[in-house]
A and B are shown apart, each in its own frame.
Chain A
């Protein structure tokens, strides 16, 4: 799972059915302590916000983490927030 910092949100009115109700966030990926560009990730915790350092899961597991029975089309999902005082 890769690490990143949440920098913004994505609002999207027209989207495919299973994406309904999901929170989409703009995340700056941090690889080996260096900036690796922006990505958009769905939020499985539903509690991440701007400034939070998060870890994200990719590939098939990104969709399964959001919903095991009806996986929405996500290729990157926030799995958790790293406690800021431990960074």
Chain B
């Protein structure tokens, strides 16, 4: 898992049938100093996140099935939590 920041929403009328009803968000990983690192990806949202939120990103198909509660779902990146704060090197960072 990584932490990332939601950078935008994805509106998609034509999509893989099983994604109907799911919320898709653009999310980009951040390092623990809060700077962007890595590639922006499109993720399925399971945590009711919004633009600007710091979130927990999971990049695994099996986990996606568990998070969404659908054993036949085909997905890779899911947002499975909204981060309140984290502590690293004795420094606590509040995200909102």
Contact = CB atoms under 8 A, between A and B. Distances in A.
A24 interface: no
B35 interface: no
* Interface bin, chain B: 20 to 34
A82 B75 contact: no
Interface residues of A, number: 25
Contacts of A58: 76
Given A60-B61, A61-B76, A68-B72, A31 B40 contact: yes
Contacts of B36: 32
Contacts of A32: 28, 36, 39-40
Contact of B10 (A64, A65, A82): A82
Interface of A: 1-3, 31-33, 44-45, 47-48, 55, 57-61, 64-65, 68, 79-83, 86
What are the nearest 6 A-B pairs in CB distance?
Answer: A80-B15, A86-B11, A1-B42, A80-B12, A55-B42, A83-B11
6 contacts: A2-B39, A61-B61, A64-B74, A65-B74, A68-B74, A82-B11
